[in-house]
């Protein structure tokens, strides 16, 4: 009977030790939604190279956001709801002419279409009202 107890204890110890070894990898921690510079990496399914020019930052204290396109600054208000709901409203921008005016206009319009979000590690995914992915932004 003692032999079975010893075998059982050894098996239990080996099992517990193997579980601990699996947890030594880095845990992916979601970046905070607020006060993080979220830089555009994908817009409407297309990867974009923006040299970190296209971004937004959410200000928690004022429920406002600011950001930038190719050469214009933008600002507005945001509202967060349950289950990952988000609205960006009152979007306004400076009005300088840009070399990539079409790209900037598309980015600003897409922000106005945002109805939801999800943060996964260092990525912010933005969705429209049909739950379609419309933009991906990376924490910088």
pLDDT grade, residue 50 (50/70/90)?
confident
Query: Is residue 24 over pLDDT 50?
Result: no
Q: Tell me how far the alpha carbon of residue 89 is from its chain's centroid.
A: 19
Question: Where is pLDDT greater, at 27 or 129?
Answer: 129
pTM of the complete model beyond 0.85 = no
Structural class in CATH, domain 38-139: mainly beta
Q: Please state, rounded to an integer, the average pLDDT across all residues of the chain.
A: 87
Other Cβ atoms within 10 Å of 136 Cβ, number:
18
Is 46 buried (19+), middle (13-18) or exposed (0-12) by CB count in 10 A?
exposed
Please tell me the predicted confidence (pLDDT) of residue 16: 46
Mean pLDDT of all residues in 101-105? 94
Residues in the chain: 140
Please tell me the predicted confidence (pLDDT) of residue 1: 56
Residue spans per domain, the chain: 38-139
Core vs surface per residue 105-135: b (16+ CB within 10 A) or e: ebbbebbebbbbbebeeebbbbbeeeeeebb
- Per the CB < 8 A criterion, the answer to whether 59 and 43 are in contact is no
Other Cβ atoms within 10 Å of 103 Cβ, number:
18
Tens digit of each residue's pLDDT (9 = 90 or more) over 63-88: 999 999 999 999 999 999 999 999 99
Mean pLDDT of all residues in 34-57? 95
Question: Tokens at residue 41, please?
Answer: 């990496």
Report the C-alpha gap between 47 and 50 in whole angstroms: 10
């Amino acid at each position: 009977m003692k032999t079975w107890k010893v075998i059982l204890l050894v098996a239990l110890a080996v099992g517990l030790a193997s579980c601990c070894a699996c947890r030594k990898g880095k845990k992916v921690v979601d970046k905070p939604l607020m006060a993080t510079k979220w830089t555009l990496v994908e817009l409407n399914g297309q990867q974009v190279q923006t040299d970190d020019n296209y971004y937004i930052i959410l200000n928690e204290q004022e429920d406002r956001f600011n950001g930038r396109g190719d050469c214009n600054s933008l600002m507005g208000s945001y509202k967060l709801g349950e289950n990952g709901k988000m609205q960006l409203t009152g979007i306004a921008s400076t009005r300088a002419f840009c070399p990539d005016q079409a790209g900037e206009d598309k980015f600003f319009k897409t922000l106005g279409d945002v109805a939801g979000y999800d943060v996964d590690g260092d990525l912010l995914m933005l969705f429209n009202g049909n739950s379609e992915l419309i933009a991906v932004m990376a924490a910088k």
